[in-house]
Amino acid sequence: MHWLAEVHVALRSGIADPEGQTIGSALRSLGYATVTEVRSGKLMRIAFEAVDHAAAEDAVTEMCLRLLANPVLETASWDLRADEQQDAEEALP
Amino acid sequence: MTLVTRHPRVAVAVFPGTWSERDFAHVARTVLGWEASLLWHTETDLGGPDAVVLPGGFAHGDHLRTGAVARFSPIMRAVEAFAAAGGPVIGSCNGFQILTEAGMLPGALMRNDHLEFRCDWQALRVERPSAAEAWLGDFADGDVIRLPISHGEGRYVADSVTLDELERNGRVVLRYADADGQVTADANPNGSERGIAGIVNAGGNVLGLMPHPERAAEPEVGGVDGLRLFRSLERWLQARPAAAERRL
């Protein structure tokens, strides 16, 4: 089965985020005076194959632990869904 | 006991995007008359060096995070084994970032707090150099030295437990300072926690630092304090002929 994972990597709370702070002050200077905080992060869309949902979850967990997020600084969360379109295309004769 | 008189041999790892490997090799070969080999990151055999250098640059484009991809390069297995056996390893700038990503040193290096790339001469205070004798044996506690820095992501970060442990065990060996050796916020070029510019592993053989000692090894470039790290290594190796011979 084909799967799509959207992995969100965010800085842990308490880790200073100068990029987010700079974006926040830019927004305020554009007139969005009510902006109190911006935290920056990364979004990665990963297409891959796994036999079932549990195996896909395990794979994403491992990807995050080994490479996608540095546990010293970051946390990772993700949305995982079956890529039915890709599965359907592959099922065509 | 046989006196080892040969010159030190250093292996310099080269990743796609590394930029300081030739400066390290120049200092080793031309300034000091040592042997230096440049090893592509796919190598799995270091060739029996006395020390290993992870130089500065942008290994693998620094994509994802600095050092995050480089730590999986094949050569890193050999570097980890070399370090585990007590071999001296230095990671400067991007090399320091790789060492933290590889878990060979604690903490991480993040974007400078002001978001700017900083390229300048920087005063540093040497602290408890005996904790990193192979690389800092020629220094005294409290020495103030000048080395170039050149980085956009040099802000050292670790949780307070890790920082306290590093301090307690004397593993913070270099701090950003002013010309008088005072560690102040103004002297800190990137927002590093506690002004940390360099740390060493528990074994004392793996040194990570953001500054570039290889860029301060000849008077023509404005300073020679970096040469003292190389001299430290040479003396450390000479004092250990058995270890040096084992690698012959």
Would you kindly state where each structural domain of chain B is located, as residue ranges?
A: 9-246
Report the residue from A16, A67, A73 with minimal CB separation from B113. Answer: A16
- Nearest Cα residue in chain B from A17: B113
Interface contact flag, A72 B107, Cβ < 8 Å: yes
Contacts of B107 in chain A (CB under 8 A): 72
Interface contact flag, B72 A16, Cβ < 8 Å: no
Is residue B72 exposed (0-12), middle (13-18) or buried (19+ Cβ within 10 Å)?
middle
Q: Would you tell me which CATH number, out of the four given (3.10.310.30, 1.20.140.10, 3.40.50.880, 3.50.50.60), belongs to the domain B9-246?
A: 3.40.50.880
Contacts of A67 in chain B (CB under 8 A): 64, 68-69, 72
Interface contact flag, B68 A72, Cβ < 8 Å: no
- Residue B156 contacts residue B109 (beta carbons within 8 Å): yes
Give dist(CA B69, CA B19) in Å, integer: 16
Contacts of A73 in chain B (CB under 8 A): 108, 110, 157
The CATH H-level superfamily of A2-15+41-91 is: Phosphoribosylformylglycinamidine synthase subunit PurS (3.30.1280.10)
pLDDT average, residue stretch A36-57: 97
The domains of chain A are located at: 2-15+41-91
- Residue B112 contacts residue B92 (beta carbons within 8 Å): no
What residues in chain A have their Cβ under 8 A from chain B's Cβ atoms?
15-16, 18-19, 22, 67-68, 70, 72-73
- Could you read off the pLDDT of B107-154 as tens digits, one per residue? 999 999 999 999 999 999 999 999 999 999 999 999 999 999 999 999
User: How many beta-carbon pairs under 8 angstroms link A with B?
Assistant: 33
CA dihedral over B156, B157, B162, B164, signed as positive or negative: positive
pLDDT digits (tens), chain B, 248 positions? 455 567 899 999 999 999 999 999 999 999 999 999 999 999 999 999 999 999 999 999 999 999 999 999 999 999 999 999 999 999 999 999 999 999 999 999 999 999 999 999 999 999 999 999 999 999 999 999 999 999 999 999 999 999 999 999 999 999 999 999 999 999 999 999 999 999 999 999 999 999 999 999 999 999 999 999 999 999 999 998 655 555 54
In the numeric block, which tokens belong to residue A14?
A: 């308490």
Interface contact flag, B115 A15, Cβ < 8 Å: no
Chain A nearest C-alpha distance from B105 (Å): 12
Told to judge if B212 belongs to the known catalytic residues of this protein, a careful annotator would answer: yes
Q: Quote the pLDDT of residue A57.
A: 98
Contacts of A16 in chain B (CB under 8 A): 110, 113, 191
With an 8 Å Cβ cutoff, is B194 touching chain A? no
Q: Quote the pLDDT of residue B248.
A: 44
Name the 3-class secondary structure at A57: helix
Told to judge if B214 belongs to the known catalytic residues of this protein, a careful annotator would answer: yes
Told to judge if B93 belongs to the known catalytic residues of this protein, a careful annotator would answer: yes
Confidence class for position A90, pLDDT limits 50, 70, 90? confident
| pTM beyond cutoff 0.90 | yes
